[in-house]
Chain A
Amino acid sequence: DAKTTQPNSMESNEEEPVHLPCNHSTISGTDYIHWYRQLPSQGPEYVIHGLTSNVNNRMASLAIAEDRKSSTLILHRATLRDAAVYYCIANAGGTSYGKLTFGQGTILTVHP
């Protein structure tokens, strides 16, 4: 799996957009970019994933750079419930057999 680099922490105000960056300069052509988040006292939960194109779902959007060396998770309107540790993962999916390589993640604080 490719190494990912994220800022240690970020802050946002409620109802404002949040852009969480991730660098994955050694990503290979078959590595998918996954984002998970871990709310306090819970296990990680899936947020979104993508390969080359930008992706949207009900939780967030994922913007992937054209060279795929970086990506940005976008929360369109942060809520207090979005306060969590966000993990960016670049892995080979089906060949990794259940292994997700988590980095240190970004601690997101949302202010009311």
Chain B
Amino acid sequence: KAGVTQTPRYLIKTRGQQVTLSCSPISGHRSVSWYQQTPGQGLQFLFEYFSETQRNKGNFPGRFSGRQFSNSRSEMNVSTLELGDSALYLCASSLETGSYTDTQYFGPGTRLTVL
């Protein structure tokens, strides 16, 4: 079974631009979560989608948004990019059985550099 895939793997943008990152979860997984990883702040939760609905959101400004499609694929968008948005963006999927022990499976991430 294929793992979580993220595209693109690397991206360079300039301040003020916007960017869209894509995530394809493992087949059959219905929940998709997004994380931002930086050297200073570590791994931080952005948001989670299930059945095309955002169920949980981290403490990030409104410039960060996402969506999920009917096939569970997800995209996240960052508008008006700032230098501080340079980070590794990770996507994770899980079965979402409602169990306390759902395991998250992470993709390799998209490395975003903002110049």
On A, residues with C-beta under 8 Å from B are 30, 32, 36, 41-46, 49, 51, 87, 92-94, 96-105
Contact = CB atoms under 8 A, between A and B. Distances in A.
Contacts, number: 75
B106 A93 contact: no
B48 to A, nearest CB: 3
A6 to B, nearest CB: 12
A30 B100 contact: yes
Given A44-B106, A45-B106, A104-B42, 8 more contacts: A36-B104, A43-B92, A43-B109, A93-B102, A97-B55, A98-B94, A100-B35, A101-B45
B103 to A, nearest CB: 5
A32 B100 CA distance: 7
B104 A49 contact: no
Interface of B: 4, 31-33, 35, 42-45, 48-50, 55-56, 58, 90, 92, 94, 96, 98-109
B55 A93 contact: no
- The CB with the most chain B CB atoms within 10 A, among A32, A99, A101, is that of A99
Nearest to A32: B100
Given A43-B92, A43-B107, A94 B56 contact: no
A93 B99 contact: yes
Contacts of B109: 43
Shortest Cβ-Cβ A-B pairs, 3 listed: A93-B100, A98-B48, A43-B106
